[in-house]
Structure formats: C-alpha cells, structure tokens
Amino acid sequence: MPSKVPDGQRRGWIIPIGGSENKENDRRILERFVSVSGGEDADIVVIPAASRMHETGSRYEQVFRDIGAERVTVMDFDTRRDCHETGRLERLDQASGIFFTGGNQLRLTTLLGGTPVAKLIRHRNAHGVTVGGTSAGASILSEHMIAAGDEGSSLIAGTVRLAPGLGLTNRIIIDQHFRQRDRLGRLLTALAYNPFAVGVGLDEDTAVFISPEEILEVEGSGGVTIVDGSDVSHSSIDKVGDGQPVCMLGLRLHILIAGATFNLNTHLAAAPGLQQSKE
C-alpha cells in the first residue's frame, strides 16, 4: 500500500515512462523528470537493477548530468541483502528523485519487494520525492503489476500474470511499449481481475506525470491509452476458463496525447490546452 502523506505535506510526483524514451535530440521526458526533482538542485539516484546490461545505469547517469542535475548516483542491487545496507538507505534518503531503468520487472520486485529499500522509497515519495521509471521500471510503480502476458487486443482469461509491485499507488495498473507490442488485451484482462483500478497503457517515448493532486498529464511523442473500469456493470471473468473470451460491459476508453490529462479522483479526461479541476 502507498505510504500515508503526512499532514501539511504533498506526495511526490510518480512518473511511469513507456520505454525507449528519447535520450538524444528531444529529451523532454527526462528533462521534465529532472525539473520536478529539483531542477539544478536535483539529487537523483538511478536504480538499474531490472537490467543485466552493466552500461544501463551509467548511460542514465550521463544523461541526467547533461540535463543539469546537481548530483547523480547509480545504485545497483545484486542480492536482497544489499537492500539492508545502511549506506544505501542513507543515500536514498538524501535523493530528491529516484529513477528505475528498464529490464525485467520481476527481477526488480524479487530483489526489492518487502525490503527496507522498497519501504523507504514509498516513504520518501509520500514525503515529496519524485519516483519514476521506464519500461519495467514503470510497471513496478503501482501496487498491482503486470509481470507477463500475451500480445493481442482481445480480453482473454488467463492471458496475463500479475504480481505485487512497489506500491507507490493503488489507483492504476501500468503497461508499457503499449501500441508497439500490441498489449491492449493484457491490460484489459488485468482490469477484469482488478476493475477498481484505471489501466494506463504507455506508448514508447511517452510518459504520464502523476501530480500530487492525482492528475495524470501526458508527455512525449506517443499516446497513452486510458481504460477506466469504474462504471463496469458486468464481467464474466469469474465464469470462464483460461483461454476463453471475457465479457465486460461499461468500460470507458480514452486516447491521450501530450498535454492531455486524466483526473484519478473525478475520472474525467481533458484534451491538451483545457484546464482540469483538481477535485
């Protein structure tokens, strides 16, 4: 569960990115991540534990330094024992922004889940620290995480595997590389199992910046598919076997582009340039 925000404080930004974000010519997503993490005073910890490629962390370290962050540290984890080290916890406690790279989301949750590091990151986000991630690093940010699933657009029982995520928010279920890997079906199936949540399908080079007021704003060159199950009137997920199609009535779908918003409190979407109420 997300940590409780103390009285008089604001939760930090939560920033899931759909993967393959531009790191060269148009770095608007990563530049905005640095901006909401403190700008020139940003103190960022990069966690590349989802990836087995040794250069992943150093690449993001260089990008964030080039953008203008004051301090950037790469912090990898090889074992769960690493998540108990005092020095690592102290460094995370100093950060104004925490960033998870892509890779394998199950590797991330296997290493971090239920550890002091995971608890500290939830606590720091509740106290105003920005937390973001790309690809697998986006999937883990919510409480319910898509661990694996089949491609395709159909809602089919048993075609998605869910696992506990980091738990910064329980309002959404995130999927990434969305349009590029044809993942509508697995997001719909995940929502059939968790109809209280809002599905967020992120195209590549596209992010949602979730404000402390629970408003999602899209940034990047692609689209974001919002699937809202709050008005679902019927679901057959409890009656069909694995491999069988599922009937769901009352789903609402929005396709958002840069500047468009979706309010997690009111469940209202707004096109780019239109102001949205925070209530």
Within-domain flag for 152: yes
**Residue 101 falls inside a structural domain:** yes
- Is there a domain that residue 133 lies in? yes
Helix, strand, coil proportions of the chain in percent (round to 5)?
A: 25, 25, 45
How far is the C-alpha of 57 from the C-alpha of 59, rounded, in Å?
5
Residues annotated as part of the active site? 135, 177, 204
Taking only Cα atoms into account, the Rg of the chain, rounded to an integer number of angstroms, comes to 18
Q: For residue range 35-89, what is the model confidence (pLDDT) as tens digits?
A: 999 999 999 999 999 998 889 999 999 999 999 999 999 999 999 999 999 999 9
Query: DSSP code of 108?
Result: H
Q: Which residue has the tokens 């999937």?
A: 139
Residue 248 parent element (H or E): strand 248-249
pLDDT reported for residue 274 = 77
Q: What is the extent of the structural domain holding 41?
A: 14-270
Structure confidence at residue 80 (pLDDT): 97
Distance of CA 200 to the CA centre of its chain: 9
Residue 6 lies in a domain: no
Q: What residues of the chain score a pLDDT lower than 50?
A: none
In a domain, 5, yes or no: no
Instruction: Tell me 168's DSSP state.
Output: S
Look at residue 273 in the predicted model and tell me its pLDDT.
87
- CATH code for position 40: 3.40.50.880
Number of domains the chain is built from: 1
Question: What is the layout of strands, in order, in the sheet containing 14-17?
Answer: 71-74, 43-47, 97-100, 130-134, 14-17, 206-210, 215-220, 261-263, 269-270
Residue 178 within any structural domain of the chain: yes
Backbone angles phi, psi at 151, to 5 degrees: -80, 165
Report residue 43 CA to chain centroid gap. 20
CA distances from 249 to 72, 79, 95, 229 (A): 47, 44, 44, 9
Rounded to whole angstroms, how far apart are CA atoms 237 and 219?
Answer: 34
Instruction: Look at residue 278 and tell me if it is in a domain.
Output: no
Is residue 277 a part of any domain in this protein? no
